[in-house]
Amino acid sequence: YGGPPANYRISRVIDIICRMNLTAFFLCLMLGNPLDLYVACPLHTYFFFLIWMAMRLQYEANYSKYLFRLKLFGFACFIFLFWDCDFGLRETLHSFLGHSSGSVGGLIGFVRELDYISYLHHWAAFIGAVYAINQPILSLQLRKLESLGKIPRFLAKGFMLGALGLGASCWVDGPHQQAIAYFGVVPFLFYIYLRNMLDTLRERHIGLFSWIGKY
């Protein structure tokens, strides 16, 4: 999404939003389920808009090594002010999506659920963007690591695996709800590193998931 200006056109945005939400919408109609059960789809749309706006504003800076990172720093500051500071910004925005004086927190059920889940994962989109930007560097690091001898390669991989494993084990025993917004990435990093640690694992994947990701 950070490529040519044509990637930011409104028709493309609408196309992506429809692909993310239409299936859940029709399932709600067919099964008579409340939208709360499919909050993951609106949540992905929510964060897609966040990333799209961050990339669309001054998109010329996306091609500059340092300006792009400065822009991401401003994006991180916005996330911190919006979700982590008690200025009422999040509550104000979500109250426009739906408000009911008879429900908990003054928000209707679906919006209250969206508000809660978005808080738990409010750093996820930013972390994903940072990873996407640095993916070529990480790929180069892996290739260089694989070119080392067996003992240095084993020690380096073992150290990383041990550090991430220790973090993941602390996460399992820790306070999930309070910490998930900030440290929820640790078990994912552990899984990603474990999944890509060996050549034989990196060479194998599920074709369907790969196709969906490209589509």
Is 215 a residue whose pLDDT tops 60?
Answer: no
- pLDDT tens-place string over residues 120-143: 888 888 888 888 888 888 888 878
- pLDDT tens-place string over residues 6-62: 677 788 888 888 888 888 888 888 888 777 777 788 888 888 888 888 888 888 888
The structure's pTM equals 0.70
Q: Among candidates 118, 133, 130, which has minimal Cα distance to 49?
A: 118
Quote the mean pLDDT of the chain: 77
The whole-number average pLDDT for the span 111-128 is: 81
* Calpha distance 55→58 (Å, rounded): 8
Sign of CA dihedral 21, 22, 24, 28: positive
- pLDDT tens-place string over residues 57-110: 888 888 888 888 888 899 999 888 888 887 777 777 766 665 544 444 444 567
Share of the chain above pLDDT 70, in %: 81
- pLDDT tens-place string over residues 148-191: 888 888 888 888 888 888 887 877 666 555 566 777 778 878 88
